[in-house]
């Protein structure tokens, strides 16, 4: 049995807290306006977590001995893109949030969550899965079969 389980609507506040852990670890000043975006995001996140057959899912590990508290989170979505040789159906998975509380790291929680999310992607017929990796997390992803992609991505903030 896996340590990880699918996140439920009642986990939404903890999911947002762990997303903030990830943001803070990647970008300084990431917590600016935290209360505003958490409050605005919470209702939509609860709705999305309630969708059993939607294109979004999150998997979590509960913090041992602390009911209602989470130690780790992985979230991803399935997107449609016009098919290609690697993905004829055009279904692409994207992992956009992986977070573990600093005092709960190195216990296999992120791996357990990733394995569940990858199984979820496979069940939905995704041809491949994309993610952005920090240098610290790259060994975990490599051990799960991810390889560096020379994709020259760019970003436009709207």
Q: How confident is the model at residue 46 (pLDDT cuts 50, 70, 90)?
A: very high
Options 3.40.50.2300, 3.40.630.30, 3.40.440.10, 3.40.50.10860; CATH for 5-143 is 3.40.630.30
What pTM was computed for the model? 0.90
Is the Cβ–Cβ distance between 61 and 19 less than 8 Å? no
Q: Are 100 and 109 in contact (CB under 8 A)?
A: yes
Residue pLDDT, tens place only, 60-115:
999 988 888 999 999 999 999 998 887 889 999 999 999 999 999 999 999 999 99
For the chain, give the percent of residues with pLDDT over 70.
92
CB contact at 8 A, 72 and 64: no
Bridge pairing between strands 56-62 and 128-131:
unpaired
Q: How confident is the model at residue 28 (pLDDT cuts 50, 70, 90)?
A: low
């Amino acid at each position: 049995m896996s340590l990880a389980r699918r996140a439920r609507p009642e986990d939404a506040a903890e999911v947002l807290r762990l997303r903030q852990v990830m943001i803070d670890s990647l970008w300084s000043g990431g917590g600016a306006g935290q209360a505003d975006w958490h409050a605005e995001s919470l209702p939509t996140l609860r709705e999305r977590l309630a969708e059993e057959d939607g294109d979004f899912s999150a998997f979590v590990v509960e913090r041992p001995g602390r009911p209602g508290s989470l130690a780790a989170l992985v979230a991803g979505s399935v997107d449609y893109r016009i098919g290609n040789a690697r993905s004829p159906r055009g279904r692409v998975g994207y992992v956009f949030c992986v977070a573990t509380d600093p005092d709960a790291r190195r216990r296999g929680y992120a791996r357990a969550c990733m394995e569940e999310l990858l199984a979820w992607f496979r069940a939905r017929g995704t041809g491949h899965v994309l993610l952005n990796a920090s240098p610290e997390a790259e060994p975990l992803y490599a051990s799960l079969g991810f390889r560096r992609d020379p994709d020259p991505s760019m970003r436009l903030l709207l």
